[in-house]
């Protein structure tokens, strides 16, 4: 028996059209109605819909859409499809066209959220009324993490479906009659939550095809984090700092609502950065995209050069490790030099060297041996006189040891410290100087000896 579903309004989901039809036609036997439309006892689902070959067949006369058109225009499939590989995409699509009664496989369940709420925007409802359209649900309001109307920028209203089975699918008109709550978001977070909504909606509508700029397609999240100044060593990241700043950006409330609040040290952010969490997920990718985009703009991708005049790497050498905090770059170079560079509007304001490194010591010693005065040595090194004298005094102990020997000794010391302290974290606390030496000269050894995760906290 054909079902005369009306053609969907712009962005109207299939569940909304079905609910609207049921209400207008005052369908009494809801179960039988759903079973004849879908060809099986379909459960209420605000995201995807299954067995659409059957639905297309049943509605040829009224909607006149193919199953694929329904998939693309009336479900959240285009959104989820943007986050998964070819193979998973194909499998979801097969299920959506022809339902199989087995349970959904784990990778589909991980990707596709089944939110226990429906959301709508009062401004959108008002717009429907003004334009004398049927008042309708919108797909983009049902996307994970979307609490703001992408069109009107108003916070959405939520109807909870938790704890009750949806027997008769809810039409928006019926929901408007009962009390629903507006999502509460601190005003300061409004713009970033709005950004999540706009980005998510643009993916759903397929307008955002430039995914290279959005997702870690060309670069891994790890690489993006390094490029944004969160490198700690050659292979380690300031991941605790990233978690902290992500919470600052999105707010605990919002992340909590999305079940995306990083709680322990091994959380989804660390997992995504390390590449150990590989399941196709939509919202985490969106949150990371927005976060790193904001950081990339902040740092303009600048990577400082090592200012050492005596290092064997020569001039125009970019430092290995750069950490960004408040428009300052804390830099550690493999030559042993550490310095802080402050920048404003892309101009270097100030560069302060905290450690000159062995090449300066060797040069100071060489000049001293040639009989130069302290003042003259300072001039040639480009340091203050007291620093020059300090470098000369340390010459003795430094110059008799090569960097290779320093590294070898540090590595032995570190492995002893690890043994004594039972792990990276303990050793780092107990032997800060040694840890810094390791970090500067042989960070890869720190990684390989790490026992508590190779992204340091």
Task: Give residues in contact with Zn ion (CB under 5 A).
Answer: 121, 123-124, 149, 151-152, 306, 308, 311, 333, 335, 337
Residue 166 vs 323, nearer CB to Zn ion: 323
Residue 265 vs 320, nearer CB to Zn ion: 320
Q: Are 440 and 338 in contact (CB under 8 A)?
A: yes
CA diameter of the chain: 105
Minimal distance, residue 139 CB to Zn ion, in Å: 12
CA neighbor of 124 nearest in space, from 95, 91, 146: 146
CA neighbor of 333 nearest in space, from 361, 363, 362, 303: 303
Residue 305 vs 372, nearer CB to Zn ion: 305
Minimal distance, residue 305 CB to Zn ion, in Å: 9
Minimal distance, residue 103 CB to Zn ion, in Å: 36
Minimal distance, residue 124 CB to Zn ion, in Å: 3
Residue 124 vs 142, nearer CB to Zn ion: 124
Residue 121 vs 246, nearer CB to Zn ion: 121
Minimal distance, residue 307 CB to Zn ion, in Å: 8
Minimal distance, residue 45 CB to Zn ion, in Å: 22
Q: Are 150 and 124 in contact (CB under 8 A)?
A: no
Residue 39 vs 336, nearer CB to Zn ion: 336
Helix (H, G, I), strand (E, B) or coil at 316: coil
Phi, psi angles (nearest 5°) of residue 370: -80, -5
Name the helix (H) or strand (E) containing 338. strand 338-344
**Would residue 422 be called left, alpha or beta, if left means φ above 0 and alpha means ψ between -120 and 50 degrees?**
left
CA neighbor of 135 nearest in space, from 170, 160, 103: 170
Q: Are 67 and 55 in contact (CB under 8 A)?
A: yes
Minimal distance, residue 391 CB to Zn ion, in Å: 16
Minimal distance, residue 166 CB to Zn ion, in Å: 23
Residue 76 vs 311, nearer CB to Zn ion: 311
Q: Are 286 and 199 in contact (CB under 8 A)?
A: yes
Q: DSSP letters along 172-215, please? A: HHHHHHS--EEPP--GGGHHHHHHHHHHHHHHHTT----HHHHS
Residue 362 vs 450, nearer CB to Zn ion: 362
Measured CA to CA, the distance from residue 407 to residue 165 in angstroms comes to 65
Q: Are 23 and 33 in contact (CB under 8 A)?
A: no
């Amino acid at each position: 028996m054909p079902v005369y579903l009306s053609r969907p309004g712009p962005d109207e989901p299939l569940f909304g059209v079905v609910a609207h039809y049921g209400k207008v036609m005052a369908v009494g036997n809801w179960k039988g109605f759903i079973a004849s439309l879908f060809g099986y006892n379909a459960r209420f689902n605000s995201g995807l819909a299954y067995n659409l070959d059957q639905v297309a067949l049943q509605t040829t006369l009224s909607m006149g859409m193919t199953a694929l058109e329904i998939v693309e225009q009336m479900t959240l499939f285009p959104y989820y499809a943007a986050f998964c590989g070819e193979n998973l995409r194909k499998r979801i699509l097969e299920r959506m066209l022809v339902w199989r009664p087995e349970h959904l496989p784990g990778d589909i369940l991980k990707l596709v959220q089944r939110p226990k709420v429906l959301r709508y925007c009062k401004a959108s409802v008002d717009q429907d009324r003004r334009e004398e359209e049927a008042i309708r649900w919108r797909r983009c309001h049902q996307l994970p993490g979307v609490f703001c109307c992408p069109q009107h920028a108003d916070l959405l209203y939520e109807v909870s479906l938790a704890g009750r089975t949806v027997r008769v699918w809810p039409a928006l008109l019926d929901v408007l009659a009962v009390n629903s709550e507006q999502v509460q978001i601190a005003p300061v977070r409004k713009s970033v939550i709005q950004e999540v909504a706009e980005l998510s909606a643009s993916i759903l509508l397929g307008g955002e095809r430039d995914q290279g700029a959005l997702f870690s397609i060309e670069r891994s999240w790890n690489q993006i984090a390094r490029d944004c100044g969160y490198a700690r060593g050659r292979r380690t990241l300031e991941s605790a700092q990233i978690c902290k700043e992500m919470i600052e950006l999105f707010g605990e409330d919002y992340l909590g609502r999305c079940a995306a609040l990083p709680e322990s040290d091994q959380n989804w952010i660390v997992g995504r950065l390390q590449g150990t969490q590989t399941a196709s997920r939509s919202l985490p990718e969106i949150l990371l995209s927005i976060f790193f985009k904001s950081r990339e703009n902040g740092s303009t991708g600048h990577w400082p050069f090592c200012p050492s005049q005596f290092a064997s790497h020569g001039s125009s050498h970019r430092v290995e490790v750069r950490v960004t905090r408040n428009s300052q770059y804390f830099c550690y170079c493999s030559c042993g030099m550490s310095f802080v560079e402050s920048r404003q509007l892309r101009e270097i304001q100030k560069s302060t060297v905290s450690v000159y490194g062995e090449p300066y010591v060797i040069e100071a010693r060489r000049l001293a041996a040639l009989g130069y005065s302290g003042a003259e040595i300072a001039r040639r090194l480009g340091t203050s006189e007291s620093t020059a004298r300090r470098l000369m005094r340390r010459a003795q102990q430094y110059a008799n040891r090569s960097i290779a020997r320093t590294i070898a000794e540090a590595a032995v010391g570190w492995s002893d410290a690890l043994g004594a302290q039972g792990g990276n974290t303990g050793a780092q606390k107990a032997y800060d100087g040694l840890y810094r030496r390791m970090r500067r000269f042989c960070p890869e050894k720190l990684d390989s000896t790490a026992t508590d995760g190779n992204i340091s906290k």
